[in-house]
Amino acid sequence: MSARKVVVTQRFFDEATIDYLRHNGCDVVIAELPAGKADGDVPESTLRDWLQDAKGWIVGHARVTRELLLALPQLKIVSRRGVGYERVDVAAIRDLGRVATIAAGGNDATVADQTIGMMLALGRRFREGQAGIARGSWAIPLGTDLYRKTVGVIGLGRIGRSVVKRLAAFECKVLVHAPREDADLAARLGFEYVDLDAVLAQSDYLTLHAPLTPQTRFLIRDETIRAMKPTAFVINTARGGLVEDRHLLNALQNQRLAGAGLDVFMSESDSGYQSVTQELASLPNVIAQPHSGASTREGLDRTNMIAARCVVAVLNGENPPSECVVADGRTTVTR
């Protein structure tokens, strides 16, 4: 094994990216994940075994703790094939002189497409129509348009902006609630900034694209759901924890919302919510997916390559693209 061992703890890692790493002098090791499990389900002791002698780690949802980093003094870079980094101990990365990166820009279009798809599927009641045909019924479930509806967007990062661009084709009125406002961007993309109360009260579709922070945790809960139209749909393709899933389930069961599109769930980080996830997924007016928003062939190929390029840059003593850097302990520059 060479001095540039790179361990990948993700599925669907394409040959072109493996070839790129090898061409740049890396020995690539693809970890054998247990069936039906992601690297976030793997014990830290197993991760430590896999990562012995590794200089680079391309990671999915595993927790990157200070203890793990201390056990791997040779590890130079933790490169996420994704854009969230709440499971990475950023302070430890910085303190220990390591680098942490994300695959910024790789999955914007992919997740935005899924978001629009969920809006259409919910409004047109695709799941209910198909279930009826499977039972032998041709009764038509009356749906609603996305065309010219009011869509609220909470969070305006790369994915949020991609969603806004797509909504223009549906001639939607787009309301954005975000911590920072950019008047030029609003004029260019044709949306309006509003406060949280307005986006809740006016939205026919409310889509979440905010990071999970102490301030955004359980942003959608009983109090905020009561402020919404009972005909509104909630879409969460961002992070479990933005929505209090128990409150959402209760609202859907009591017709206080029209439906929900969910790609992320509280149960991903709290097993006590597992039954809530199952109940949500069983409802006819819920579109549920297994955190697959970024998982298309094209989207994963893009994020694989961005993650790999970050690894090669650090192993070469260079700087990854600034938009990808979460923390760089070599220079104390942080994102």
Amino acid letter, 55: K
Integer-rounded Cα radius of gyration of the chain: 21
Please say if 63 is a catalytic residue.
no
Alpha-carbon dihedral angle through residues 26, 27, 32, 33, given to the nearest 10 degrees: -20
* Active-site pick, 239, 247, 302, 309: 239
Q: Which of 98, 91, 59 is nearest to 77 (CA)?
A: 98
Task: Specify the DSSP class assigned to residue 32.
Answer: -
Please say if 291 is a catalytic residue.
yes
Phi/psi-derived region of residue 320, left when phi > 0, alpha when psi is between -120 and 50, beta in every other case: beta
For 259, the 3-state DSSP assignment is: strand
Three-point CA angle 335, 82, 163, nearest 5°:
90
Residue 187, φ and ψ in degrees, nearest 5: -65, -40
DSSP code string of 210-233: ----TTTTT-BSHHHHHTS-TT-E
Task: Specify the DSSP class assigned to residue 12.
Answer: -
How, if at all, do strands 150-154 and 173-177 pair? parallel
Residue 72, φ and ψ in degrees, nearest 5: -130, 70
Calpha distance 96→69 (Å, rounded): 8
* Active-site pick, 11, 166, 291, 335: 291
Q: Which of 152, 166, 46, 48 is nearest to 114 (CA)?
A: 166
* Active-site pick, 209, 268, 302, 309: 268
Separation of CA 41 from chain center: 17
Please say if 268 is a catalytic residue.
yes
CA 260 to each of CA 87, 181, 207, 226, 280: distance values in angstroms, whole numbers, following the listed order: 26, 27, 10, 15, 9
Active site residues: 239, 268, 291
